[in-house]
Amino acid sequence: MTIRPKVIALVASMLAVLGVVQIVVEHRILMPSFAELERDDARTAMRRISYALDLTLDRLALSAADWGNWEDTYRFVIDHNPDYVRANVTTVGLKQLQVNTMLVVDVNGNFVMSSALDLNTEQPLDIDFVAAKAWPADFPWRASLREGRAAKGFLQTNRGIMMIAAAPVLDGNGGGPQRGMVMLGRLLSDAEIQRIAAQAQALVSMAPANDARTPGQLTETADITQVFRAVNDVYGRPLMALRVDVPRRITQRGHTAIAYASACLIAAAIVVLVLLVLVLNRVVLKPLSKVTRHAVAIGNSEDLTARLDLHGNDEIGLLAREFDRMVERVAQSRRQLVDQSFHAGFAELAKGVLHNLGNAMTPIGVRLSGLSQRLRQAPAADAEQALDELRRGTADAVRCADLEEFMRLACAELAHTLKAAQEDVAVLTRQTGIVQSALSEQMRSSRNEHVVESVRLPELIAQSLEVVPDSCRQRLVIDTDESLRQVGVVHVARTVLRLVLQNLIINAADAVRDAGKDKGVLRVSAQIVRNADHEQLHLHCQDDGVGIAAANLDRVFEKGFSTKSKGTNYGIGLHWCSNAISALGGRIWAASDGPGLGASMHLMLPLVARNTRASVEAA
């Protein structure tokens, strides 16, 4: 199982766990919190109702206090003047006060004046409490009457529950002695309840007193939350219960919100899963897969030129760069090993050849030295002089006989010298054959298979520049064409081609110097030439140096030919390049438009196919 399905399964599992946690939170925390909000709302509504009811009683008590602290009322309690009743206790007055009953009570609790009115029909109202003409003996407000204190509360009548308020009768200036009390009453009708409900902005109704069994009692149904408040009468006995009904809209909306939230969470989880998988695939999985494939490809093909080139700043990017650096170090070590092996092989081959040449040259040197000495010692000049003298003739017979004897002895000496020279020539001939055999062996060895490596041409040119003298690099600018990068990786004998390019770069720098320029340009381009059965690499190196005469284009690759100074050049570099390229199965040729117009070097080199390269490396 690859890492991608593992990551997807892990992320999906995490989102599933998150969904389960959300469901638990919704049912254990959110929904109970919604229900608690509804309870708080219901209690708040009941507090508003209680405040509105208390406010109504306070207003009723304020009206009673106004009437009680009035000089006319004070005199009426004393003189019982009927004009006070006719002038003030009217239907209009009671409707303005919004009271159903108005009583003036003396200090003994007797009603000095009493009036009861139906505010809707404006007809007298029969109320049992008013018809009694006096407070009952156990009426709780008798203590307030004696002490001159105001009082308010609720009272059960035959017409229903009545809100009542009483205030002491004073002289109009708040002084006394107090003469009794003014008592106002308002029936707590359904209309009054709805007015209080509208004022408190709540749904309220009256219920039997036994419905409120506990203070602040709260009950819940599927649709309504109900809060009860018990109300006592002036005697302290349960009178009624106020019930506030609060629809459970918060819970319903909470259920709806949670349903939407759950749907959104599921959709978001799916979107997040997809996006996360896409992001992970782009940021982690795809680069990781690329690194893995690259490592496997490197291990299988041993192509050390390929690079990941991941530029990320994360751990995968760092790993890729470190892997590229590791492969680069391995490739560099391999190049160094191949180069060292190449040079070591050449050195070992040269060592053997030089040893054989030394063995062959030693007899040659000895023989040449002996031959040279014998030839110098031969009486050739004396014999020639004696022969010339004999040719001219001489009168002296003794001199002539001496010359003839000398010629006889000189001929014998020359014959001996000639015979020894023939022996030396035979030895030299044999030793020359040995030298030719050693050179032929070297030529056969130079045609052995070279190590084929995967290279990129820009990197190969950079490697060639590393071994070029500083003076040449400073004199020459290498202009690498885009075609070098487009060619990509090629499989060639890198070491040989690097040495060839090194020679071409040095020659181009010398050509720029000979042209009298401080700075020149060497343009390098490449092309893959495809034939029916094989591919060839065409390298084109063009400089802007001194150029090559047309007569010398074919001779620049001859051994010993050079247009440069004989003191610094021996005509070996291009000759070796030609031999090296020929040994690889390719060819090299030169082109130039003439002196002063620069020169071009063309290399045509067969490319090694991947399977062929593998078999060569295995061999």
Q: Considering the domain boundaries, does residue 296 fall inside one? A: no
295 within domain boundaries: no
Is residue 487 within 8 Å of residue 537, measured between CB atoms? yes
pTM for the predicted model, two decimal places: 0.47
Q: Which one of 249, 273, 304 terminates a domain?
A: 249
Judgement on whether residues 428 and 459 belong to the same structural domain of the protein: no
Whether residue 561 sits in one domain with residue 474: yes
Please report whether residue 418 resides in a domain: yes
Q: Which of 210, 189, 217 is nearest to 125 (CA)?
A: 189
The domain spanning residue 614 has which CATH number?
3.30.565.10
Q: Is residue 311 part of a domain?
A: no
Residues 410 and 558 placed together within one structural domain of the fold = no
Whether 285 is in a domain gets the answer: no
Q: What is the reported pLDDT for 101?
A: 95
Predicted pLDDT of residue 615: 41
Q: Of 211, 229, 249, which residue sits at a domain end? A: 249
Whether residues 464 and 437 fall in one domain? no
In-domain check, residue 280: no
Q: Which of 392, 426, 446 is at the close of a domain?
A: 446
* Strand locations in 429-475 (E): 453-456
The stretches in the chain having pLDDT less than 50 are 567, 611-619
* Together in a domain, 121 and 90: yes
Determine the pLDDT at residue 362: 67
Residue 53's nearest CA partner among 204, 263, 256, 276 is 204
166/60 Cα distance (integer angstroms):
9
65 and 191 housed in the same domain:
yes
Give domain status of residue 457, yes or no. Answer: yes
CA–CA distance, 391 with 403 (Å, rounded to integer)? 11
- Residue 128 shares a structural domain with residue 166: yes
Shared domain check, 225 and 179: yes
The reply to whether 461 and 421 lie within a common domain is no
Q: Where are the beta strands (DSSP E) in 107-249?
A: 111-118, 123-124, 151-157, 160-168, 180-187, 203-207, 218-220, 224-232, 238-247
CA separation for the pair 14, 20 (Å, rounded):
10
CATH of residue 428's domain is 1.10.287
Q: Which domain does 536 fall in, by range?
A: 453-618
Q: Looking at the DSSP assignment, which residues form a beta bridge with residue 480?
A: 524
Query: What CATH number did the domain enclosing 50 receive?
Result: 3.30.450.220
CA nearest to 246, candidates 58, 477, 47: 47
Specify the pLDDT at position 617.
42
Q: How far apart are the first and last CA of the chain?
A: 38
pLDDT of residue 248: 84
Predicted pLDDT of residue 23: 83
Residue 17 belongs to a domain: no
Within this chain, do residues 477 and 393 fall inside the same structural domain, yes or no?
A: no
- 268-317 residue pLDDT tens: 888 888 888 888 887 777 777 888 877 787 777 766 777 777 777 777 77
- Tally of structural domains, the chain: 3
539 shares a domain with 423: no
- What is the distance between the alpha carbons of residues 165 and 172, in angstroms, rounded to a whole number? 19
Q: Do 398 and 494 have their domain in common? A: no
